[in-house]
């Protein structure tokens, strides 16, 4: 039996989900307050509707009570995301999947009834890093929305140089917090000790700089 899913918000993320669900055979109701976005999907999804999630009357005309799931992919307004989530919850939609801007928004959307909340930009960054674990990144820990601790093998050109000489904090925005050598972790390593080929570095880096770390 086909699943019926409503998607609120047809920006890049919501549109991609609506298209993927349609390709998978689901009946998709796509909703946005932007006429161009709605028209773009009108010939692709089961039904596309112009509606403002903050307008109770227009929302009630959607008839979503029989939907199997809802996707809240609204990005421009937390209030709109909250309203859409509450509306779907009150309508009896059994599963609500929502997009959040940050961890604070995530907690709020869970509080008002979302079953699953994701931060797409956040997740894609994590996914990209983990896919690249076969390169010089050996491990990856999320410390906050933007800060990561990763363990890397040292680049060939670093061998024989000291941390002081490399000056990674200034040159590459990398903070070395420890060295792993022969299975032992050395915190606050000696900055004048020459790096050996078989050691790894535990570093703290901003998410935006991860690709630079990977590529060297």
Summarize the confidence of residues 151-164 as an average pLDDT. Answer: 91
More confidently predicted of 59 and 144: 59
Q: Which pTM value belongs to this model?
A: 0.58
pLDDT value, residue 25: 80
Over the stretch 199-210, which tens digit does the pLDDT of each residue have? 988 888 887 787
Q: Over pLDDT 70: what percentage of the chain?
A: 86
What CATH topology corresponds to 123-215? Alpha-Beta Plaits (3.30.70)
Residue 5 has pLDDT above 70, yes or no: yes
1: pLDDT confidence band, cut at 50, 70 and 90? low
SS (H, E, C) the chain: CCCEEEEECCCHHHHHHHHHHHHCCCEEEEEECCHHHHHHHCCCCCEEEECCCCCHHHHHCCCCCCCCEEEECCCCCHHHHHHHHHHHHHCCCCCEEEECCCHHHHHHHHHCCCCEEECHHHHHHHHHHHHCCCCCEEEEEECCCCEEEEEEECCHHHCCCCHHHHCHHHHHCCEEEEEEECCEEEECCCCCCCCCCCCEEEEEEEHHHHHHHHHC
Summarize the confidence of residues 34-52 as an average pLDDT. Answer: 95
pLDDT value, residue 140: 65
Q: Domain limits of the chain?
A: 4-118, 123-215
Over the stretch 83-94, which tens digit does the pLDDT of each residue have? 999 999 999 999
pLDDT value, residue 145: 64
pLDDT value, residue 181: 86
Q: Over pLDDT 90: what percentage of the chain?
A: 38
Domain 4-118 bears CATH identifier 3.40.50.720:
yes
Residue 172 has pLDDT above 50, yes or no: yes
């Amino acid at each position: 039996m086909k699943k019926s899913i409503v998607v609120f918000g047809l920006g890049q993320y919501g549109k991609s989900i609506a298209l993927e669900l349609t390709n998978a055979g689901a009946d998709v109701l796509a909703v946005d307050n932007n006429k161009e976005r709605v028209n773009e999907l009108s010939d692709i999804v089961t039904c596309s509707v112009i509606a403002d999630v903050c307008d109770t009357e227009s929302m009630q005309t959607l008839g979503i009570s029989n939907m199997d799931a809802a996707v809240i992919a609204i990005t421009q307004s937390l209030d709109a995301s909250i309203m859409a989530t509450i509306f779907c919850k009150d309508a009896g939609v059994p599963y609500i999947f929502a997009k959040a801007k940050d961890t604070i928004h995530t907690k709020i959307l869970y509080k008002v009834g979302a079953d699953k909340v994701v931060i797409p930009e956040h997740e894609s960054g994590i996914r990209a890093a983990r896919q690249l674990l076969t390169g010089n990144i050996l491990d990856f820990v999320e410390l906050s929305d933007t800060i990561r601790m990763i363990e890397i093998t040292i680049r060939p050109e670093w061998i024989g140089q000291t941390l002081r000489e490399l000056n990674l904090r200034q040159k590459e925005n990398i903070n070395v917090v420890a060295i792993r050598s022969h299975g032992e972790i050395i915190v606050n390593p000696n900055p004048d000790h020459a790096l050996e080929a078989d050691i790894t570095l535990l570093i703290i880096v901003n998410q935006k700089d991860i690709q630079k770390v990977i590529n060297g």
